[in-house]
Amino acid sequence: MPKQSYTASEAARALGISLDTLRRWDRAGRIRVERDERNRRLIPASEVERMRGRDGWSGLSARNRFTGIVRAVEVDGLLARVEIDVTEPARVVAIITREAAEELGLGPGDAASALVKATSVMVRR
């Protein structure tokens, strides 16, 4: 039977973030958290999947997908440079349009995914 919920530390590990970041996201309302009888955080498995960004990739043919945390967003004219620390031992840097960066609302510490296809990198939040 699939796991229904995660402890805070399990969820943080699954999301590739620190426990402190998960707590901040909880306080900011960015992630839905439940509490057990001892007031410990429990994160529903569906919420971990939502934060991982898995839904929405299924219709794409690309196989190189990296999920991680936005490290930096540098906007210069019409372009934005987005640097993502991926949970795998790698870092992905993408040059996207300023409009796309603003539309995604990317900022340091945000969860994001990078999809790599040929010489292009697409960013998804």
57 pLDDT exceeds 70? no
Q: Are residues 90 and 113 in the same domain?
A: yes
Assigned domain for 74 exists? yes
Q: Are residues 96 and 118 in the same domain?
A: yes
Q: What is the pLDDT of residues 11-26, one digit of tens each?
A: 988 887 888 989 999 9
Assigned domain for 58 exists? no
Assigned domain for 110 exists? yes
Q: What is the pLDDT of residues 87-112, one digit of tens each?
A: 666 677 888 898 888 888 888 888 88
58 pLDDT exceeds 60? no
Structural domain including 104 reads 64-124
CA distance 24 to 104: 20
DSSP string, 20-86: HHHHHHHHHTSS--EE-TT--EEEEHHHHHHHHT-TT-TT----EEEEEEEEEEEEETTEEEEEEEE
